[in-house]
Amino acid sequence: MNPASNLILVGPMGSGKTCIGKRLAERFGLRAVDADREVELRAGARIAEIFEHEGEAGFRARETATLAELLAGDGLLLSTGGGAVLAADNRRLLRERGFVVYLQVSVEQQLERLAQDRSRPLLARGDREQVLRDLARVRAPLYAEVADLPFDTGAAGAGEAALGLARQLDALWRRPPSSTSSPLGATA
């Protein structure tokens, strides 16, 4: 059992990291932070603009610096970007500074959930399904490598998935003493 005080969600785009993360943060009394939004706030630019001007390497460097700063503290629920696990230093940091949950989702479910999303630079490269399959082939082993707990978000909505995951976390994750848990309500 990983006794870290931070709860970290990893997984592919469309797996529910942000939506489920907000519900879990409330449940466990943690501060919810979306790593991609933090990168945007610090850069003063949207991720697509960072990719356009600095390339993926520039974005990844910003992502690594942001993760290091955020995970220096405690009591955080961190929803990472889908590619955060690509850098070995990030994987080490995630394992050392948090209880890591790998939110799993099929490519078919991703396509459904992301059908209207045009904000993701990696999905702007041709055949969306093939892009998602290629990303999964590279990233799924890395998500599994850092994970303390894999959790399939399946066909469940965010509220149902959050409730199921909260139950598993209650049994498996030793939360920090200062955090308070409250039940997930019917609207979760």
- CATH code of the domain covering residue 116: 3.40.50.300
User: Does 164 reside within a domain?
Assistant: yes
* Across 104-111, average pLDDT: 90
- Binding residues for Mg(2+), as ranges, are 18
Mean predicted lDDT score pLDDT of the chain: 88
Confidence of residue 156 (pLDDT cuts 50, 70, 90): confident
Answer yes or no: is 182 within a domain.
no
Q: Is residue 82 part of a domain?
A: yes
Can you say which residues are annotated as belonging to the binding site for ATP? 14-19, 120
| 145-to-90, 116, 180 alpha-carbon distances in Å | 12, 31, 29
Binding residue positions: 14-19, 36, 60, 82, 120, 139
Number of helices and strands in the chain (H, E): 7, 5
| CA proximity to 35, closest of 98, 112, 129 | 98
Higher pLDDT pick, 177 / 188: 177
Domain count, the chain: 1
Q: Is residue 180 part of a domain?
A: no
- The proportion of the chain whose per-residue pLDDT surpasses 70, expressed as a percent, equals 89
Q: Can you tell me the mean pLDDT for 134-143?
A: 95
Which pLDDT does position 179 carry in this prediction? 47
Which stretches of 29-157 are DSSP H helices?
A: 35-43, 47-70, 88-97, 107-113, 128-146
Predicted confidence band of residue 152 (pLDDT cuts 50, 70, 90): very high
pLDDT classification of 188: cutoffs 50, 70, 90: very low
Q: What percent of the chain has pLDDT over 90?
A: 65
Output the pLDDT for position 79.
97
Q: Which pTM value belongs to this model? A: 0.88
Q: Which residue has the tokens 């045009």?
A: 118
Here the tokens at position 105 are 């989702």
Residue 130 burial by Cβ neighbours in a 10 Å radius (0-12, 13-18, 19+): exposed
Residue 3: pLDDT band (50, 70, 90) is: low
pLDDT of 1 strictly over 60? no
In a domain, 184, yes or no: no
Report the binding-site residues for substrate: 36, 60, 82, 139
Strand partners, 149: 101
Residue range(s) defining the domain that contains residue 74: 7-172
- Mean pLDDT over residues 16-35, rounded? 94
How much is the average pLDDT of 62-84? 95
Residue 141 lies in a domain: yes
Rounded Cα gap, residues 170 and 177, in angstroms = 13
